[in-house]
Structure 1
Amino acid sequence: RLIAALRDDNRRREDIRAALREIGDVDRMVGRLGVQRTTPRELRALADSLLRLPPLRDALRGLHAAPADALADHLEGLDEPANLLHEALAADAPLAMREGGIFRDGYHEELDRLRAISRDGASWLSEYQARESERTGIPSLKVGFNRVFGYYIEITNAHRQRVPDDYVRKQTLKNAERYITDELKRYESEVLSAESRANELEYDMFVSLRDRLMPYIPRLQQAAGALAAVDVLAGWAELSLRRGFCRPEFVETPLLEIEAGRHPVLDATLEKNFVPNDAQLAAPGATGQESPDRAVSVAETAEPSDPPPRETSAPLPSLALITGPNMAGKSTYIRQVALLTLLAHCGCWVPARRMRLGLVDRIFTRVGASDELARGQSTFMVEMLETANILHNASPRSLVILDEIGRGTSTFDGLSLAWAITEYLARRVRCRTLFATHYHELTELGDSDHGLEEVANLNVAVREYEDQIVFLHRIVPGAADRSYGLHVAKLAGVPREVLDRANTVLNELEKTFDRESRRPVLAAMQRRRKRQLRLFEEPEELIVRALREMNVDEVDPAQAAERLRKWRAMLSES
């Protein structure tokens, strides 16, 4: 609601963002204050930030939204510490606490006096010299300083007879004498110690000021959290307007429907060149419809120019197998769906035309390739450890994205693992899953005739032109039959001789291992096992038992033919 309110009120959104730009990292400053490691400059920045809260509160209350009012309430009650810091600390307070310059002039009387001594020493000496010259009648009298004797009064020998009795001789030179007085000695003592005394006094004052702020820490932390929330929400509102995001709609059933979704990062970098895609998943039993009393109204979330939402009563798959060429966008697509789901749960609007989803308890990912050499774990071992974690901990409310499971071992080992993992997620865990793979044999699990009802096939569309391919980056229903690996190798600059040889080997392999001749029947068997248990024996078991009990010598050809027709009919019906 707050993002919608910020989107609708341009003036207050700009006021809020302008105020936030003038506010520092309050959370960090308060954290350092709590452990007594804050610096004078940080406390001055905290004061400046707190003084900018009133206009921010007014802008939030002007949105007339309950969440905005709640955030504004968390920014109340900080005027006293703000004024305390502002009145005490200098505008250019230093980083160090023992080098002075922390407090304003006029804030502390004794500090002002010590600063005046240190700052106005030259003028005092000039006045003192003029006064003593007039009192003694010695026009050449001079006040000086050196490191050995400190401050002194120098009188030439020609005026030695005019030296007053209160002058004490300190040093004799060839043509002059140097003297000191009690007043000059006192001034010397004050001047030489004034700066260090002022710095020490300022340090003690700063520690006292810091201690006075301690009772305000809980309220300051609350304000820091509210500022962070306002900053994030205002940024999301601005982003959603600039990039055309939509408000996600949450429903009770474990759905995941995205229309024209876009990757939040690539959409910003590629802009109009990015190809949006849809996604439709649901746990078994959920459909694309939701009762009005259980879902947020689409009219409240959609933009006026959006088309009406699609509704279908057909069951949606819980697991989508995504095949297609390398570089076509499979990994981008599955990560995009996970990112949009995460953004929606954070409260952010999402880069899509429309998004409807049920709550997701956790997002599990198995993407990329990495090893743990220090732990003695290979790339495949890391892959299996992460996959095992998913299989043990995913729930029907989870979202799982898998990218090429099983590629780190032999073909048959990898295929068998990928096959079993797919079945387990689809039938046991029953969570929303996106599985990108180059094992085209897996697509039998999504076959409408022989596969599992919970599994659907998707592929990334490409177009072939002569010996080139064009990536359309569009996700479409159905399975891909090629990965176009040689085409990608050509794009990467692999030598022509290698490509020609690879093409020859590929043709030989395709002839030897014709896919149709070795089509797995595991999916059909798995689909058959899924049916409700029969009250009687399976047809295969009946036929085998009948054959074992049959006395072949007592069966004539006509009876044998009749039994064969009967058994064939039983198998066809099953």
Structure 2
Amino acid sequence: MSAAIDSAPTPMMAQYIEIKAANPDCLLFYRMGDFYELFFDDAEDASRALGITLTKRGKHLGEDIPMCGVPVHAADDYLQKLIALGYRIAVCEQLEDPAEARKRGSKSVVRRDVVRLVTPGTITEEALLDPGQGNHLVTLTRIGGKGKAGEFALAWTDLSTGIFKLAASEGHRIEADLAAIEPSELVVADPLYRDETFAGVFRRFGKRARPEPQALFDAATAPDRIATFFGVATLDGFGDFSRAELSAAAALIAYLGKTQLAARPALRRPERRLAGASMEIDPATRASLELTRSVQGKRQGSLLGVIDRTRSGVGGRLLASRLSNPLTDPVEIAVRQASLAHFIEDPDLRRDVRAALARMPDIERALSRLALERGGPRDLLAIRSGLQGAASIGERLGADLPVELAHCHAALSDLPAALRTALETMLGDEAPLLKRDGGFVRQGAIGELDEARTLREDARRFVAALQGRLAEETGIRALKIKHNNVLGFFIEVNETHGKALMAGDGAGHFIHRQTLASAMRFTTGELAELQERIVNAGADALRIELETFDRLSAAIVAQAGRLQAAAAALGAIDVAASLAELAVSEDWARPRVDDSLSFRVEGGRHPVVEAALAAAQGASFVANDCDLSPPGAASEAGAIWLVTGPNMGGKSTFLRQNALIAILAQIGAYVPARSAHIGIVDRLFSRVGASDELAEGRSTFMVEMVETAAILNQSSERALVILDEIGRGTATYDGLSIAFAAVEHLHEVNRCRSLFATHFHEMTALSERLARLSNVTMRVKEWRGDVVFLHEVGPGAADRSYGIQVAKLAGLPKSVISRAKAVLAELERTDQGERRGTFLDDLPLFSAAVKREMPNGKPHADAPDPVAEALGAIDPDRLSPREALEALYELKAVSRRAAED
């Protein structure tokens, strides 16, 4: 019996176990007073992840129960760390006051339940989010087929802003589409998640990718589920969506319902992204070009980090989205360019608008928190300030605007004036973080609230006034109103006056409460009422403020559509003004973008490298031209530039800068060049640099070949292809053969605009038989045995790679440099190529000079060279012919002795 009792959990632990069983894949944050506690395996996982102390609390089944906890007031910091590691958290709150639980019995447990699941893609807390970066939750589905066959679709939202988008996809494009969205969390239909074809894709997301039952993605019921969520009878007014798109959208709504429970997010109506509407950029190209983050995974050093001069969170997020999805419609691009031009031509407007935007709160995220019932008084203030600022910016824009800015002006002019008036009337100038703290309603806005506040804050004055009036009415000047914890407020007089009050001689209806040795205590109906009002004043004041908060929140959420439209308009204005500021300050040019196959850049520069040079050295960037346009009017294909030149000469920078210029041009920005004419690029491929994927079982060369295969299989006339050092990861003849064949394929089959950098100088001969291929080289200058890199691109072909000079600059030992020079000289003399083993057999392993540097087989780079020393001691100007001949014999002898040593 005793063992059975010991094994039975306490009521509190039984409640915990029950709630945990309903949320097995989450860490359960179990509210106990001012702490969220975690038990059992959750406690062990959290203590390791957060670096907090693991303790214990009681026993279960004879074992100690591990426990750790985090303070409620600091929970956001801990949530941020856990979310970053991919954990999901179930937040379990106390749903009643502990006093209510005690009324049910001494062993009754406070009623608790999970109020929200916190996952990487569903966070909305300001402290957990980057203001300039979206936080996307993505659902992915496939209808019919296996592997890469079938109908694919994605749906995604940023719960913190309410965007809701859909896109059809294809099996071979899934990874590229996901890379463009950059999901914080990916939800996949279970059969698709377990398909080995995509195992590598999902593995890269780690814990951020999770399977959900196929029922969540049921296409048959999807239209009804979406219609129910948006409160409409039919989806006809939403647009024409495929079954797969509807399946993904319904799954997204269902997953939000699963994680947000009773809260309903303020999602916009789903917007469909049309196929081909944006430039396709595969994940390898995004990483190579460092569009939104550097190779170290940081924003600093990326293209986005250099061009982002936005002043608001909504503007920063929009710029990042546009950079990830460059347009392919020249008309839309021209619309964006016109907005930039408007701000460039009016610097005063640009300055004023940017200053106003810097003061703007994040309307989108404040609205989302209020809709999810996670908002606070500061979110109300944010909406009020946003409405005021938006109206001011709308007025400053004025009239006679280009198309995009005119639409923005219309959205800002449509803001609800009544809502703004209500917020201005009701809210004070400052507010606490939490609504439970009160104090955010303006003084004078609500009479009942003012009275409660006055009573709460000036209780002493009210009591003193009543005391004075009673003393005057009774004529008892010694009458006092006092307070203790037993009686509350009471009237105290001496025994003589007390007997008179009991006899009814005094004014009013005095009720006897207590008799002491020298005093008597009374109360009156008025004092009892005042006491009740004072005691309840704080609660009444908070109740009125909370009711006001709920009323204002409901009014804001009711205007969600107009507020979201205004926020989008502010984002577009911010992006246009910031890119205009960038163009002016960095001397960027407006590119001509059309439907041709042109690609002509004059004086192009790499924006990231140029910014780094200016910041670190104050040096200027060497600009270069690039022309990949069709060579003749009748040609229907772009040109190929075969780029040769030395290591460190700037080939990779030149290749990348032209790809970045194409991207910048197609997001509607100006570009770092004197001028540019860009025919629309529908797909961008970049194979620059070396990397491996050891976890996938791929060597560096295998990764290179897989990426090259994707380029050769997918690019067409409108593509831009950037290739660097194809074939260098294998034997020379193999690599050269692959590079030759790849260039021929690009020229004859893909017929795309391309930059192909190589150290295989033999490939320059291709220009004689490939009409659209031209040889260009990175120019260098040799000076006193060293090489000077000019970083200039010019026509022609390099005959050397200057690798040994670069190795010398890198600090390789002198012995290695000397040996390399000897081997290179022999290679060039014999021209043996892959048969270099033949002549190396005859070449001494180390020359005499090198041997002298390596006594006992250990190199000494600073060992003296006796021949060099003897030669240095000779002054040719002072030698007679005979002395010169004798010196020559002596040098020969020194050399022979050194060789023998």
TM-score range with shorter-chain normalisation? 0.7 to 0.9
Cα pair 1:427 1:454 within 8 Å, conserved: no
Cα pair 2:598 2:638 within 8 Å, conserved: no
In structure 2, what is the equivalent of residue 40 of structure 1?
A: 377
Deviation for aligned residue 1:408: 3.3
Decide whether aligned partners of structure 1 residues 419 and 206 sit closer, same or farther in structure 2, where only a CA change above 3 A counts. Answer: same
DSSP 3-state at the match of 2:544: helix
Matched ranges for 1:110-259 at <5 A: 110-136=448-474, 139=477, 141-155=479-493, 161=499, 166-168=509-511, 170=513, 178-259=521-602
Cα pair 1:324 1:482 within 8 Å, conserved: yes
Structure 1 range deviating more: 247-256 or 374-383: 374-383
Cα pair 1:324 1:460 within 8 Å, conserved: yes
DSSP 3-state at the match of 1:498: helix
What is the CA deviation profile of residues 529-557 of structure 1, one whole-angstrom value per residue up to 9, with x for unaligned ones?
xxxxxxxxxxxxxxxxxxxxxxxxxxxxx
Deviation for aligned residue 1:260: 0.5
Cα pair 2:367 2:556 within 8 Å, conserved: no
Decide whether aligned partners of structure 1 residues 80 and 395 sit closer, same or farther in structure 2, where only a CA change above 3 A counts. Answer: farther
1:394 pairs, out of 712, 715, 721, with: 715
Matched ranges for 1:269-284 at <5 A: 269-271=612-614, 273-283=620-630
Cα pair 1:3 1:237 within 8 Å, conserved: yes
Cα pair 1:258 1:356 within 8 Å, conserved: yes
Decide whether aligned partners of structure 1 residues 286 and 34 sit closer, same or farther in structure 2, where only a CA change above 3 A counts. Answer: farther
What is the CA deviation profile of residues 128-157 of structure 1, one whole-angstrom value per residue up to 9, with x for unaligned ones?
333344445555544443444433344566
In structure 1, what is the equivalent of residue 807 of structure 2?
A: 489
In structure 1, what is the equivalent of residue 54 of structure 2?
A: none
Deviation for aligned residue 1:87: 1.9
**2:436 maps to amino acid:** R
In structure 1, what is the equivalent of residue 226 of structure 2?
A: none
Deviation for aligned residue 1:381: 3.0
What is the CA deviation profile of residues 361-418 of structure 1, one whole-angstrom value per residue up to 9, with x for unaligned ones?
1212222333333333333333333222222222210111123233333333333332
DSSP 3-state at the match of 1:200: helix
Q: Distance in 1 between matches of 2:747 and 2:625?
A: 20
Decide whether aligned partners of structure 1 residues 228 and 331 sit closer, same or farther in structure 2, where only a CA change above 3 A counts. Answer: same
2:393 pairs, out of 56, 66, 79, with: 56
In structure 2, what is the equivalent of residue 441 of structure 1?
A: 762
Q: Distance in 1 between matches of 2:482 and 2:649?
A: 85
Cα pair 1:12 1:62 within 8 Å, conserved: no
Q: Distance in 1 between matches of 2:385 and 2:834?
A: 74
Cα pair 1:98 1:200 within 8 Å, conserved: no
Structure 1 range deviating more: 72-81 or 329-338: 72-81
DSSP 3-state at the match of 1:462: strand
Query: Which has the higher relative contact order, 1 or 2, with Cα contacts under 8 A spaced 6 or more apart?
Result: 1
In structure 1, what is the equivalent of residue 663 of structure 2?
A: 342
Cα pair 1:255 1:356 within 8 Å, conserved: yes
Decide whether aligned partners of structure 1 residues 489 and 147 sit closer, same or farther in structure 2, where only a CA change above 3 A counts. Answer: farther
Cα pair 2:592 2:678 within 8 Å, conserved: yes
In structure 2, what is the equivalent of residue 80 of structure 1?
A: 418
Matched ranges for 1:364-513 at <5 A: 364-445=685-766, 447=767, 449=768, 451-513=769-831
**1:102 maps to amino acid:** F
Deviation for aligned residue 1:341: 0.8
Decide whether aligned partners of structure 1 residues 275 and 203 sit closer, same or farther in structure 2, where only a CA change above 3 A counts. Answer: same
Cα pair 1:254 1:286 within 8 Å, conserved: no
TM-score relative to the length of structure 1: 0.77
Q: Distance in 2 between matches of 1:202 and 1:329?
A: 65
In structure 1, what is the equivalent of residue 434 of structure 2?
A: 96
DSSP 3-state at the match of 1:433: strand
- Report the aligned-residue RMSD: 2.9
**Count of aligned positions:** 489
Matched ranges for 1:548-559 at <5 A: none
Q: Distance in 1 between matches of 2:500 and 2:476?
A: 7
Decide whether aligned partners of structure 1 residues 376 and 177 sit closer, same or farther in structure 2, where only a CA change above 3 A counts. Answer: farther
Cα pair 2:597 2:637 within 8 Å, conserved: no
Q: Distance in 2 between matches of 1:45 and 1:325?
A: 56
Decide whether aligned partners of structure 1 residues 490 and 91 sit closer, same or farther in structure 2, where only a CA change above 3 A counts. Answer: same
Q: Distance in 1 between matches of 2:516 and 2:633?
A: 107
Cα pair 1:88 1:103 within 8 Å, conserved: yes
Cα pair 1:258 1:280 within 8 Å, conserved: yes
Q: Distance in 2 between matches of 1:156 and 1:390?
A: 102
In structure 1, what is the equivalent of residue 644 of structure 2?
A: 323
Cα pair 2:630 2:636 within 8 Å, conserved: no
Deviation for aligned residue 1:352: 0.9
Cα pair 1:463 1:470 within 8 Å, conserved: yes
Q: Distance in 2 between matches of 1:506 and 1:405?
A: 22
What is the CA deviation profile of residues 19-42 of structure 1, one whole-angstrom value per residue up to 9, with x for unaligned ones?
222322233333334444333212
**2:621 maps to amino acid:** F
Cα pair 2:687 2:724 within 8 Å, conserved: yes
Cα pair 1:257 1:281 within 8 Å, conserved: yes
Cα pair 1:317 1:453 within 8 Å, conserved: no
Decide whether aligned partners of structure 1 residues 148 and 407 sit closer, same or farther in structure 2, where only a CA change above 3 A counts. Answer: farther
Cα pair 1:406 1:417 within 8 Å, conserved: yes
Deviation for aligned residue 1:105: 2.1
**1:196 maps to amino acid:** A
Decide whether aligned partners of structure 1 residues 139 and 438 sit closer, same or farther in structure 2, where only a CA change above 3 A counts. Answer: farther
Decide whether aligned partners of structure 1 residues 340 and 131 sit closer, same or farther in structure 2, where only a CA change above 3 A counts. Answer: same
1:5 pairs, out of 342, 347, 360, with: 342
Q: Distance in 1 between matches of 2:694 and 2:523?
A: 79
Cα pair 1:360 1:397 within 8 Å, conserved: yes
Deviation for aligned residue 1:316: 9.1
What is the CA deviation profile of residues 297-325 of structure 1, one whole-angstrom value per residue up to 9, with x for unaligned ones?
xxxxxxxxxxxxxxxxx999622122222
Q: Distance in 2 between matches of 1:129 and 1:418?
A: 101
Decide whether aligned partners of structure 1 residues 436 and 173 sit closer, same or farther in structure 2, where only a CA change above 3 A counts. Answer: farther
Deviation for aligned residue 1:222: 1.6
In structure 2, what is the equivalent of residue 332 of structure 1?
A: 653
Q: Distance in 2 between matches of 1:475 and 1:516?
A: 31
Cα pair 1:286 1:316 within 8 Å, conserved: no
In structure 1, what is the equivalent of residue 359 of structure 2?
A: 22
DSSP 3-state at the match of 2:774: strand
Q: Which runs of 5+ in 2 are unaligned?
A: 1-337, 837-901
